[in-house]
Amino acid sequence: MALSHAVIIPTYGRREVLARLLQWLGKQSRLPDEVIISTTDETQVPDVGTRFPVRTVFGVKCIAAQRNRGLEMALGRFDFITYLDDDLIPATDYLERAGRALAQNPDWAVVMGNIIWDGATTGEIPWADGVEALRTAEARGKADSRAFDQVGAQGGNMTIRTAMIGDLRFDERLALYSWQEDIDFTTQLGRRGRVVCLPAIRSVHMAVRGGRVSGMRFGYSQVANPVYLLRKGTMPAGFALKLMARNIAANTVRSIRPETHIDRRGRLRGNLMALGHLLKGRVDPEYILEI
C-alpha cells in the first residue's frame, strides 16, 4: 500500500511566488496527494490549475500558527508531511526521495533536504537561476546518499512522519516570523525518532523579499527567541549562544556598509533592545508585537 504524502506551505504576501511553486510541484516525480496552503485570507491564494488537490486554511499572520493550522488539517489523513517555504525550489525528485527515505527507515522522524544555494546568504536568487542550479547539480551524477544526524531541521525544507507527532505543535509564542520555531519543534521530535539531513534531496532557496517582518523586529527575535527556547529546554545552550553571537556580530560589522537586501541597522537595534530586556530579566519573544 502506497504511503500518503501531503505538502504544507505557510505563506503571506507572495501570491505570485506561491503560484510559481504550485505549478512547479506538478513536475514532481511523485506528486503530492494534497497541498495545504496556510495563510491569512483568500486574497493570498493564487488561482492556478494543479495536478493535485489544493486545500486552504486561514488565520493570523504567524508562521508557527500557520504551520499548526496546516498540521491540524493533515493529521490523521497522511503518513508524511513536507513543509516547504513558498520561495523554495525543490528538485523534481524531492518528494519521492523524502518519502522513500522515511518509508525505508521507520525510526526516522524528520528528513531535511539540502539547500544547495541559499539566497538568504547571497541575495535574492531569480527563479530561472535556481532551476538551472538544480539541473546542473543533477547532471553532475549520483548524489551523496549518506544521512547526517541533526539537532533540528529547517522548517521550509523538511518532511515529517506524522505518526510521531502526537500532541506536539509549533510554539505560537514565537510570534510573526516565528524564528527558530522549526528547531524547537524538530528538537522535540528528535526525542521520538532520528532527525537527519539527506544531501541527495536538493533544493534552492530564493529568499524572495516581501511578506516578512521589519529588520528591528527580526533583530529582536534573533536574541529573544533563542533565549526563550534555551529556557524552555528545546535548544542546546551551545547552539543558542553560537546562534546569537554570530547574528549580533554580523549585524554589528555589516551595519557599517549594509547589504541592499538586509536591514542590518534595524536588526542591530532589535538585537540591542533584546539584550537590554535580557539584562532586566524580561526578554519575551512576543514583545515584537509591540515594536
Report the C-alpha gap between 286 and 220 in whole angstroms. 10
Residues 194 and 270 in one domain: no
Q: Please spell the DSSP secondary structure of 143-195, one letter per residue.
A: PP---EE-SS--TTEEEEEGGGTTT----TTS-TT-TTHHHHHHHHHTTTSEE
The confidence score (pLDDT) of residue 248 equals 98
Query: Is 114 within 8 Å of 199 (Cβ atoms)?
Result: yes
Question: Is 210 among the domain residues?
Answer: no
The reply to whether 227 falls in a domain is yes
- Beta carbons of 120 and 203 less than 8 angstroms apart: no
In a domain, 223, yes or no: yes
pLDDT, position 122? 86
Q: Say how far apart CA 229 and CA 226 lie, in whole Å.
A: 5
User: How many angstroms separate the CA atoms of 213 and 119, rounded?
Assistant: 17
pLDDT at residue 213, rounded to an integer: 65
Q: Are residues 36 and 160 in the same domain?
A: yes
With residue 72 as reference, give the H or E element that holds it: helix 63-74
Other C-beta atoms lying within 10 Å of the C-beta of residue 5: 25
Q: Let me know whether 41 and 154 are in one domain.
A: yes
Which 8-state DSSP code applies to residue 214? -
Q: Name the pairing type of β-strands 5-10 and 88-90.
A: unpaired
Total structural domains within the chain: 2
In the block, residue with C-alpha cell 547574528 = 247
The pTM (predicted TM-score) of the whole model is 0.95
Low-confidence ranges of the chain (pLDDT < 50): none
- Do 153 and 266 reside in the same domain of the chain? no
Same domain (yes/no): 192, 261: no
Alpha-carbon dihedral 48, 51, 57, 61, rounded to 10 degrees: -60
Residues 142 and 62 in one domain: yes
DSSP classification of residue 4: P
Q: What is the pLDDT of residues 198-249, one digit of tens each?
A: 999 999 999 998 755 689 999 999 999 999 999 999 999 999 999 999 999 9
CA distances from 98 to 25, 30, 168 (A): 14, 10, 21
Structure confidence at residue 191 (pLDDT): 96
Angle ∠(108,231,207) on CA atoms, nearest 5: 60
Q: Is the domain of 89 the same as that of 51?
A: yes
**Helix (H/G/I), strand (E/B), else coil: 27:** coil
One domain, residues 173 and 192 = yes
Per-residue pLDDT, 1: 67
DSSP 3: P
Look up the domain containing 136 and give its range: 5-205
Q: Give the 3-state secondary structure of residue 36.
A: strand
